[in-house]
Amino acid sequence: MVASPPRRPPTPADPCALVLFGATGDLTHRLVIPALYNLSRTNALPESFALIGVARGRTTTQAWRDDLRASLEKYIRGAIDENAWRRLAERMTFLPGDLADAGFYETLRGELDARTATQGNAIFYLAIAAQLFDVVTQNLSAAHLLDQPQDEDGVRKHWRRLVIEKPFGHDLASARALNAQLQKIVSEDQIFRIDHFLGKDTVRSIMAFRFGNGLFEPIWNRDRIDHIQITAAETVGVETRGKFYEQTGALRDMLPNHLLTLLSMVAMEPPVRFDAAHMLSKRAEVLAAIPEVEPGCAVRGQYGAGDVLGRPKKRYRDEANVAQNSGIETYVAMRLEIENWRWAGVPFYLRTGKHLSKRLTELAIRFKPAPSTPFRDAVEGMRPNWLHLRIAPDEGISLQFEIKRPGPAMDLASVRMDFRYDDWFPKEPNIGYETLIHDVMTGDQTLFMRADMVEQTWRIVQPVLDAWAASADLPAYVSGGAGPAEADALLAREGRRWLPIEAA
């Protein structure tokens, strides 16, 4: 491994309390607590920090701590740093309560007021089902827990922030309703719409790669790029999430957030500065320039039985909590365009699916061929140049290009130049939420979604949702394959094809 320069320390976080609604739920065990533990391990938590867990039940603080400590064994690689866990655990308090009981929020306010070291700063993290957002936010507002009072000089006495998890709505209408509801009780700069996908270092490195290197920006446009493929392939099925997936499906679960976020980052114009105001505005511009997707430019599918990584898998309709006649898609492929100067005429192909042959999240940029070449008669012909930005697994960047094969003949061979993060930087504990939670503490909204951006993403896919709701056509695909044949036809009609998932 080549030595890398020292990393800049993170922006210090203000003293604060984090109130975690859904403190005994799956999200808390799997993501939130492991992230807070990693922040404790790297000394990134504020010195004055309190974690108040809220949920139904009669669990004690010690029992809650013990349960979360046990679950860390599942989600943290390597041995637990007991000192780091102790520093976090001793700041944890469990507060049982009924989320619909207005009196409970008065009790919560008393708990916050008693923690004077946090200086009144508080984060309310809603790790709960979306249908509970309204009752919780209304009660927080009624108890004045979201207020940010100012002194006589207009200086804010403390800050209050609200974190909500995706999905941010179920369609365009519900997204607009959710935004309207939230904006009645808090300002936009208090709302942090969190998506763990944006916490991955390799997602954020897309912007560093584009705007930190003069080599690529001049060719990052319609003149040099033929098309872009964005893939999020999973080998897992719905596992224990059948009930959730029956209400969601692959499109709602992945397109308006994960894949359109990647698209906005790879296609945005250069910001003046890397801060929330400029970054969000540039990403929003891209989303606003994408026309609504016509149903004929989208394909869905549902996995059948098959073998994934050598193991037999059942079909989706045989999964637990899934209807035998379910019409929910587990695969989506879609063609989009961006109507602006840089990208006019360049198609973006997006795909995501479960029970596919390989786990892979990447952006693949295919460049146009040289306008004229003396190598038309080379034995293997001219293969296209591809740039791969791998998000997961094996994070890195690779460039495919042509060279001459050794020997007397002018034969061309396609080769790849690879950069792997693990070869240059030491591995650090990171599940994707650490950066995002720390950003909430510092008030940095760069990696979050603004209200208008959320509504734009739903606008883009709404015609497809409407068409699919009115149609029973749902192709099946074999588990362990590449998805339905109809997805291949989506590109083939324009003389293109998907890159093989297995070859990435």
Task: Give the annotated binding-site residues for NADP(+).
Answer: 56, 98-99, 166
Q: Are strands 331-336 and 311-313 parallel, antiparallel or unpaired?
A: unpaired
Q: Rg of the chain's alpha carbons, rounded to an integer? A: 24
Amino acid (one-letter) located at 78: G
Q: Which long-range contacts (CB under 8 A, 24 or more apart) does 107-112 make?
A: 108/19, 108/52, 108/54, 108/143, 108/145, 109/143, 109/144, 109/145, 111/52, 112/17, 112/19, 112/52, 112/145
Q: Which residues are annotated as a binding site?
A: 56, 98-99, 166, 196, 200, 234, 253, 354
Instruction: Pull the structure tokens for residue 476.
Output: 């099946």
Contact (CB, 8 A) for 330 and 478: no
DSSP strands (E only) in 311-354: 311-313, 331-336, 348-353
Picking from 158, 154, 162, 163, the residue whose alpha carbon sits closest to that of residue 120 is 158
DSSP 2-35: ---PPPPPPPPPPPEEEEEESTTSHHIIIIIHHH
Distance CA 301, CA 355 (A): 11
| Binding-site residue positions for substrate | 196, 200, 234, 253, 354
CB neighbours (10 Å) of residue 90?
9
Rounded CA separation 447/198 (Å): 6
- In 10 A of CB 389, how many CB atoms? 24
Tokens of 317: 């309709």
Catalytic site includes residue 258: yes
Q: Which of 463, 462, 469, 464 is nearest to 327 (CA)?
A: 469
Of 478, 484, 486, 501, residue with least CA distance to 355: 478
Residues 179, 259: Cα–Cα separation, whole Å: 21
Measure the CA–CA gap between 13 and 48, rounded to whole angstroms: 10
Catalytic residue among 158, 170, 227, 258: 258
Bridge partners for 232 per DSSP: 352, 361
In degrees and rounded to multiples of 5, residue 259 shows phi and psi of -75, -40
Neighbouring C-beta atoms of residue 85, cutoff 10 Å: 19
Mind telling me the catalytic residues?
A: 258
